[in-house]
Amino acid sequence: MRHNKKFNHLGRKKGHRVALLRNLSNALIEHKRINTTLAKAKALRLHIEPIVTKAKTDTSHSRRVVFSYLQSKEAVKELFGTIAGKIGDRPGGYTRIIKTGFRKGDGAELGMIEFVDFNEVYTNAKAGKSGGRRRRRKKSSAAAPATNQQEEE
């Protein structure tokens, strides 16, 4: 039974799981996009989102808390510098997971996890679309010439 099991244990003991998530977090912060299995990507998203939220406030306390999770000065510097500067105004949802298929060897489902605001191709393509609902266009083009004809007579 899996009563009260809130997160994926990834088939590892606690120390191994913490080290794995720490290394994946450092790689994601350094490269802004990594390819991994879908289960690891989902676990990484749960791990990194609170860390990025903590990095939005640049105080020495928040730097120490983030360093306790990452254990890398370079990753902390990058997170509080470029990443927090670009996604500081976002209220959450800092990462995106895109499914990329299956691994040939064992059939594991693969995914790419990336920071949302760092994929310029994807954000520029989405910028042209409207974010709202689809609406029906009014038939004003046919009505407008009719009113113009009446005004001329």
34, pLDDT greater than 90: yes
pLDDT band with cut points at 50, 70 and 90 for residue 7 = very high
Residue 143 has pLDDT above 80, yes or no: no
Q: What is the mean pLDDT of the chain?
A: 89
Q: What are phi and psi of 46, to 5 degrees?
A: -65, -30
Report residue 36 as tokens.
């991994």
The domain locations on the chain are 14-121
Least confident of 12-26, 30-44, 79-93, 138-152: 138-152
Task: Say what the pLDDT of residue 147 is.
Answer: 55
| CATH architecture of the domain with range 14-121 | Alpha-Beta Complex (3.90)
Judge whether 33 and 48 are in contact, CB under 8 Å: no
pLDDT category, 121, cuts 50, 70, 90?
confident
> pLDDT exceeding 90 applies to what percent of the chain?
72
Q: H or E stretch including 100? A: strand 95-102
Q: How confident is the model at residue 140 (pLDDT cuts 50, 70, 90)?
A: low
Do 28 and 34 contact (CB within 8 A), yes or no?
Answer: yes
Token representation of residue 43 = 């676990």
Tell whether the model's pLDDT for residue 102 goes beyond 80: yes
Whole-model pTM above 0.75?
yes
* Gyration radius (Cα) of the chain, Å: 23
Tokens of 123: 């954000």
